[in-house]
Structure 1
Amino acid sequence: MTIEMTSLEEAGLHRPQIEALLRHIEAYVDAGKIPGFALLIARDDAIALRHYYGLADPVAQTPITDATLYRIYSMSKPITSVALLQLAEAGLVDLQDLVGDYIPSFRNIQVLAGGSTLEPLYRPAIEPVRVWHLLTHTAGLTYGFHNQTILDTLYRQHASELNLPADLTLGDLVDRYAQLGLLFDPGHGWNYSVATDVVGRLIEVISGRRLSEYLRTEIFEPLGMMDTTFEVDADQLGRVGGLYLRTEGDGMHRLGGPVPERRVFPVDMGGGGLYSTIDDYLRFALMLLHRGSLDGSRILGPRTVDLMTTNHLPGGADAIDLCRYHPQPIDEPGKGFGLGVSVVTNAAAAKNFSLDGEFGWGGMASTNFFIAPRDQLSVIFMTQLIPSSAYAFGHEIHRMLIPALTS
């Protein structure tokens, strides 16, 4: 399916408000805070806005085009979660299954109870880790970059996704996570974590295929996402945008050498290793908007997408109420978490022009997407600035875009 273009007016968007939004984000580029950006807004199946500003790589003077490849980092997570749900639909795994039944290192897992990084103290977990715990980030796993607990430090020392040996497999890495233990008992808190990398390993074990192969054949090819990959080839390499780090004083510094890296991580990290284009990710978003199908390709059943985009946190809680430590990616009321995506449960509580029932997620290089099914709205924002907490682009796009809706 060729995705058609429409005007802002036909899409029910107030042009002066959208122009104000664009000027607002363009100011970040003009001030040297981000290299450039791409913003795509679609309603129903038509693109109402495709706006590029700045450069994909100011050092190399590379322009932003439709073909620009972005490291989407954690925007890989919804894709990996969809893949696991496909296996659930096929009857090969149940959301209540014990992860240890598929990954032995997760049997009899321990919870960190104190001590120090030199002598951590553990106790047995009172609950086993289940598949749904991984999909909802309630398993008790963590990320080293949180830098809040002893376990975060242990992750940085022994299982950092930014410093992995070239010969390490995803299975080896997941076993390291299990050996380091949990931050809390499964189901008893919310902590953004490597859980989706464990989901990626589950997919490999259950399907008998490498994660990259599974995603390519079961999601990317059926949806026509031909540029989405864990490893860029020679033809794609020149289209990869430069990766920048925010510096003191709100400047930015280019990371890496003059030639972009072929891979984000040496292993297929289901939680953050993919490259994609804005058009490829739109096709994934439209599949979710259409409740599992696009162009005659059924990726998930409609009710499965409904389940995925429903808040699964215990007692219907907001993620912020279950967080043991802050900051977290969901640090505002009115947001729960589904099976791989955040979910707005109470737009009024969020105080951010959110829309009830919208869902989405972002990535470490400040990429972001959200879908509002009731308004048939899909929004994708791409740039390449680390960390994602440098500027609140998701918040600011909501604050200025949602008031532009006229229908």
Structure 2
Amino acid sequence: MAKFTHEAIFEAAYQAGEIPGVALVAADATGKFRYEKSFGKTAHGEPFLTDSVVWMASCTKLMTSVAALQQVQRGHIGLDEDVGKVLPEVAALKVLKDFDAEGKPIFEDRKEPVTVRNLLSHASGLTMELFSPKLQQLQKFTGPPANPPKDIVTELSLPLVFQPGKGWQYGSSLDWAGKLVERISRQSLEDYMKANIWDPLNMRHITFAPDSRPETKERKLGMTQRDEDGKLHPTTEGYLYQYGDRKDAYGGAAGWGSAESYLNLLQSLCANDGRVLSKELVDEMFKPQLGPEGKETVNNRLQADESTRRLIANTFDTTHLVGDHGLGGFIGLKDVVGRRKAGTMAWGGLPNLIWWIDRKSGLCGALFSNLIPTADAKITEMMMQFELSIYEQYEEFKKRESI
């Protein structure tokens, strides 16, 4: 049996109380190499298994990207077509340019339409207060909403923070992309993804409503929190966006699921097997999509504080990294020694989930945790060890296969 060097490292870290339970998965493009293993328990004492269900947060975005690209594939909308014909609420938004001396907002009209390509690469100008100082300043001027918003249109119809295609800003773009899919398909995002992504790929434990299905409800795990002193303890707080009170399925961050199920999507895209998306559109997903302004913004963020670097780049080598964004995740444009090749796409989810797809090496995988705060330094360190071990054993696997 192959010896995976990361396993002893993970077990020791768990026993030392340095990490809570995690699930690790990986697969190659052929489907012959597949790795699934879990370690430990949550701080609530629940075993963390590869089919345990956790809040996936922004891991949802990759599924929504595929769903939106399916609309392009079927001819319902063009990749560079104005989404305003389906999302008139987006078409009505202006760009927040600046504030005058008295703090009054200055708006300008859009010069270009918001397109599907813009939405999937975070180049639309759409975002939310959480990620934008400009929108935070605007809210100070306008005041908070009288009632907490419960749906995408009410909550996220906020001014753009730059002209479409002229920047990069994480935020609400994929939530709007999910709404686009619902309106074109005339189905809920749950029903649409189940029929067009989850069932075709046997992703049994993925949903927007985990309590609505016995197979996901019984697998749900509690959240672990790391305090400032590094200690881990159970918590029911800190689920920043549980979405249980929302009327919509938010395609940007409301999904729940297991590492085991999610790997099936990663593997399908890595293999470019055409099962949920055409080969041409998968190729397009993995192309750098940003204009010069957006690329400059992303790479400037990579030189920010360590937490921001981990959040955007997860386990890419940020010392030498040049990055861009595809139609589904962040793309590293340089090789990482012993691990990810140039062109690898990756992203993650707030409770310290990380995934990657390296089509050049033919390898993909993920770490699923359920730990806050996000961008945990220890989890990032452990993920690097996991990847080094997987790439090493995959090379050995290929040698054995070639004999």
TM-score category by the smaller chain? 0.7 to 0.9
Contact 1:74 1:363 in 2 (8 A): yes
Where do 5+ consecutive residues of structure 2 fail to align?
Answer: 399-403
Q: Which residue of 2 aligns with 1:139?
A: 124
Deviation at 1:36, TM superposition (A): 0.8
Deviation at 1:374, TM superposition (A): 2.4
Supply the AA of the counterpart residue of 1:271: G
**1:235-262 CA-partner distances (Å, limit 9, x unpaired):** 23231111123321122343328xxx99
Matches within 5 A, 1:61-140: 61-115=45-99, 119-140=104-125
Contact 1:231 1:262 in 2 (8 A): no
Deviation at 1:169, TM superposition (A): 3.0
Q: Distance in 2 between matches of 1:170 and 1:301?
A: 29
Supply the AA of the counterpart residue of 1:219: I
Contact 1:359 1:371 in 2 (8 A): yes
Q: Which residue of 2 aligns with 1:339?
A: 327
Q: Which residue of 2 aligns with 1:371?
A: 357
- Give the direction of change, closer, same or farther, for the CA distance of 1:118–1:239 in structure 2 (3 Å limit): farther
Q: Distance in 1 between matches of 2:224 and 2:139?
A: 24
Q: Which residue of 1 aligns with 2:227?
A: 247
Q: Which residue of 2 aligns with 1:390?
A: 376
Q: Which residue of 1 aligns with 2:401?
A: none
User: Is 1:221 aligned to 2:202, yes or no?
Assistant: no
- Give the direction of change, closer, same or farther, for the CA distance of 1:253–1:395 in structure 2 (3 Å limit): closer
Q: Distance in 2 between matches of 1:323 and 1:313?
A: 14
Supply the AA of the counterpart residue of 2:154: D
SS of 2:39 mapped into structure 1 = strand
Q: Distance in 1 between matches of 2:273 and 2:244?
A: 28
SS of 2:200 mapped into structure 1 = helix
Q: Distance in 2 between matches of 1:396 and 1:324?
A: 20
Q: Which residue of 1 aligns with 2:298?
A: 320
Supply the AA of the counterpart residue of 1:310: K
Contact 1:41 1:48 in 2 (8 A): yes
Deviation at 1:141, TM superposition (A): 2.1
Aligned residues: 371
Q: Compare 317-326 and 244-253 and name the one that shifted more.
A: 317-326
Counterpart of 1:205 (choices 168, 177, 183) is 183
Q: Distance in 2 between matches of 1:82 and 1:377?
A: 19
Contact 2:122 2:169 in 1 (8 A): yes
Contact 2:167 2:295 in 1 (8 A): no
Deviation at 1:357, TM superposition (A): 2.2
Matches within 5 A, 1:16-31: 18-19=4-5, 21-31=6-16
SS of 1:138 mapped into structure 2 = coil
Q: Distance in 1 between matches of 2:348 and 2:9?
A: 20
SS of 2:35 mapped into structure 1 = strand
Matches within 5 A, 1:33-44: 33-43=18-28, 44=30
Counterpart of 1:308 (choices 285, 292, 295) is 285
Q: Distance in 1 between matches of 2:257 and 2:31?
A: 20
Q: Distance in 2 between matches of 1:135 and 1:186?
A: 12
Q: Compare 135-144 and 86-95 and name the one that shifted more.
A: 135-144
Contact 2:23 2:50 in 1 (8 A): no
- Give the direction of change, closer, same or farther, for the CA distance of 1:100–1:220 in structure 2 (3 Å limit): same
Q: Which residue of 2 aligns with 1:238?
A: 218
Q: Which residue of 1 aligns with 2:249?
A: 268
Deviation at 1:324, TM superposition (A): 11
**1:32-75 CA-partner distances (Å, limit 9, x unpaired):** 343211112223313553221111x332x221234311211111
Contact 1:98 1:128 in 2 (8 A): yes
Q: Which residue of 2 aligns with 1:12?
A: none
Question: Normalised by the size of structure 1, how large is the TM-score?
Answer: 0.81
- Give the direction of change, closer, same or farther, for the CA distance of 1:398–1:363 in structure 2 (3 Å limit): same
Deviation at 1:183, TM superposition (A): 1.6
Q: Distance in 2 between matches of 1:325 and 1:270?
A: 29
Identical residues among aligned pairs (%): 25
Contact 1:318 1:335 in 2 (8 A): no
Deviation at 1:279, TM superposition (A): 1.6
- Give the direction of change, closer, same or farther, for the CA distance of 1:273–1:344 in structure 2 (3 Å limit): same
Q: Distance in 2 between matches of 1:193 and 1:66?
A: 29
SS of 1:139 mapped into structure 2 = coil
Deviation at 1:138, TM superposition (A): 0.9
Q: Distance in 2 between matches of 1:105 and 1:352?
A: 46
Supply the AA of the counterpart residue of 1:32: G
Counterpart of 2:266 (choices 281, 285, 288) is 285
Matches within 5 A, 1:161-180: 165=149, 168-173=150-155, 177-178=156-157, 180=158
**1:262-300 CA-partner distances (Å, limit 9, x unpaired):** 96562301011111112211111121122143xxxx211
Deviation at 1:219, TM superposition (A): 0.9
Q: Distance in 1 between matches of 2:387 and 2:250?
A: 32
RMSD value, Cα? 3.1
User: Is 1:193 aligned to 2:171, yes or no?
Assistant: yes
- Give the direction of change, closer, same or farther, for the CA distance of 1:48–1:97 in structure 2 (3 Å limit): closer
**1:125-172 CA-partner distances (Å, limit 9, x unpaired):** 3333222111100111224333x513146579758xxx955xx33343
- Give the direction of change, closer, same or farther, for the CA distance of 1:49–1:377 in structure 2 (3 Å limit): same
- Give the direction of change, closer, same or farther, for the CA distance of 1:48–1:95 in structure 2 (3 Å limit): closer
Q: Which residue of 2 aligns with 1:358?
A: 344
Where do 5+ consecutive residues of structure 1 fail to align?
Answer: 1-6, 9-14
Question: Normalised by the size of structure 2, how large is the TM-score?
Answer: 0.81
Deviation at 1:352, TM superposition (A): 8.4
